[in-house]
Chain A
């Protein structure tokens, strides 16, 4: 039972590079979300999805794209990395509004 799997665990990018953070869950959860965690700011919602083919913006969507072609996968794309995107990124999934979210172990991203 893997839960929510995020890859990679660590990544260093140069300014302007693009990359995709992977997130997969094996619990058949409909809801998936991406958060970034910065010191003193808690977790801020980047994008979320309520099912395959459906995505919406969260609190801090600029500079990020998502897609949800399958129930299992919810990749986060950084289009042109900036130092302000240095953060820890968490993916989470949930089976419905009546339960909590299960979080992945995070991706620590540094943009230089």
Chain B
């Protein structure tokens, strides 16, 4: 069965610290991968996506993610976080020919000023 797992449920950081959130997926065949962010009280917004090509993808707000096929991973990184990065982050995956977008359980990130 298709699944996405995020290992960190809560992360607390200070401003200017580096952030890395783990995401692993279990899918047969080619997979499309996404990271979404949900700021407090708001809906989900797309941070970045990977379909093919360069496994290091850059998204909005200084975020990037690296697709490592051998590890079935798609970890999200940001070199220096800001207080405004406080949010919940969701990894998601969809089969390249499919329509179902499967989400991980989310990681709540709190950035202390």
Q: Do A98 and B100 have beta carbons less than 8 Å apart?
A: no
Q: Which listed segment binds B: A13-21, A40-48, A77-85? A: A40-48
Answer whether A40 and B103 are a contact pair too, CB < 8 Å, given A90-B43, A103-B43, A105-B43: no
Separation of A59 and B103 alpha carbons in the complex (Å): 11
Q: Which listed segment binds A: B11-19, B44-52, B62-70, B79-87? A: B44-52
Q: Which residues of A contact B100 (CB under 8 A)?
A: 33, 45, 48, 58
Q: Do A106 and B101 have beta carbons less than 8 Å apart?
A: no
Q: Which residues of A contact B101 (CB under 8 A)?
A: 33, 45, 92, 94, 101
Q: Do B43 and A100 have beta carbons less than 8 Å apart?
A: no
- Report A48 CB to chain B, min CB distance, Å: 6
What size tier do the contact residues of chain A reach?
Answer: 20 to 34
- Asked if B98 lies at the interface with its beta carbon under 8 angstroms from chain A, I say yes
Residue of B nearest to A50 (CB): B99
- Report B98 CB to chain A, min CB distance, Å: 7
Separation of A33 and B103 alpha carbons in the complex (Å): 13
Residue of B nearest to A91 (CB): B43
Q: Do A97 and B99 have beta carbons less than 8 Å apart?
A: yes
Interface residues of A (CB under 8 A from B): 31, 33, 35, 40-45, 48, 50, 58-59, 90, 92, 94, 97-106
Interface residues of B in 22-77 (CB under 8 A from A): 32, 34, 36, 42-46, 49, 51
Q: Do B103 and A100 have beta carbons less than 8 Å apart?
A: no
Interface residues of B (CB under 8 A from A): 4, 6, 9, 32, 34, 36, 42-46, 49, 51, 90, 92, 94, 96-106
Q: Considering residues B44, B49, B90, which has the most beta carbons from chain A within 10 angstroms of its beta carbon? A: B44
Answer whether A100 and B34 are a contact pair too, CB < 8 Å, given A31-B99, A48-B99: yes
- Report B85 CB to chain A, min CB distance, Å: 19
- Report B57 CB to chain A, min CB distance, Å: 12
Q: Do A42 and B105 have beta carbons less than 8 Å apart?
A: yes
- Report A33 CB to chain B, min CB distance, Å: 7
Q: Do A97 and B32 have beta carbons less than 8 Å apart?
A: yes
Separation of A28 and B113 alpha carbons in the complex (Å): 42
Q: Considering residues B36, B99, B105, which has the most beta carbons from chain A within 10 angstroms of its beta carbon? A: B99
